[in-house]
Amino acid sequence: MSSTIKPLDEISDPRLSGRAVRRIAYDQATIARRVAELGSEISAAYPDGDLLVLGLLKGSFIFLSDLVRQITRPLQVDFLVASSYGDGTVSSGTVKLVYDPETRLEGKDILLVEDIVDSGRTLNRLMGILAEREPRSLEICALLHKRIAEGLKHDTKFVGFDAPHEFLVGYGLDHAENFRHLPYIASLQ
């Protein structure tokens, strides 16, 4: 689905005061329509089984909360935190998974919900870790996909939008923790 380009020059949004946000890539109505479609697709794709929707924090928090309300079948919700670790000054490229060890993954249909797939490195690491827990199935739902990831080991079964190759913020996505609360998705470029 293509994005609607709207310049922000004449939009006075107090959420943005003094911040360099260039244009709206996806407005609220466009996002809502697509999230409803994804909810229908997901509802149809899981006719039976125990569905566990696993949101990857922090970026997925708004998308996930809208998405689960569009899924018309029983499900459970939980969250994961993936954090890089190392000595703090050099990126180790390793992803540590922080999750509730009480959450049962075995035998469940797991839908991992991600805000945006960029290099795909986060997902490659996470999917390997989650697969070891022997779920019944393991799929990814990403709101945005930049389609630039090389060597993605797992297909992203549900994608909201093929995103432009720009840095996007809003609807959960941040730049240095700013802009997560924008109800639309904007480009900083």
Site of interaction with ligand IMP (CB under 6 A): 59, 114-122, 167-169, 173
In the bound state with ligand IMP, the residue whose beta carbon lies nearer, of 72 and 91, is: 91
Helix H or strand E encompassing 110: strand 109-117
Contact assessment for residue 21 and residue 188, using Cβ atoms and an 8 Å cutoff: yes
Contact assessment for residue 100 and residue 94, using Cβ atoms and an 8 Å cutoff: no
How far apart are CB 105 and ligand IMP at their closest, in Å?
20
CA dihedral (166, 54, 159, 26) positive or negative = negative
In the bound state with ligand IMP, the residue whose beta carbon lies nearer, of 52 and 117, is: 117
Is position 118 annotated as part of the catalytic site?
yes
In the bound state with ligand IMP, the residue whose beta carbon lies nearer, of 72 and 92, is: 92
Q: How far is CA 185 from CA 68, 147, 176, in A?
A: 19, 18, 16
How far apart are CB 97 and ligand IMP at their closest, in Å?
13
In the bound state with ligand IMP, the residue whose beta carbon lies nearer, of 108 and 145, is: 145
Q: What is the dihedral of CA 8, 11, 16, 22, to 10 degrees?
A: 0
Task: Please identify which of the residues 48, 78, 118, 155 carries the catalytic annotation.
Answer: 118
Taking the C-alpha atoms of residue 71 and residue 2, their distance in angstroms, rounded to an integer, is 24
Nearest residue to the partner ligand IMP, using Cβ: 119
How far apart are CB 73 and ligand IMP at their closest, in Å?
26
How far apart are CB 53 and ligand IMP at their closest, in Å?
16
Q: In DSSP terms, which residues pair with 186 in a beta bridge?
A: 24, 169
Which residues are tagged catalytic?
A: 118
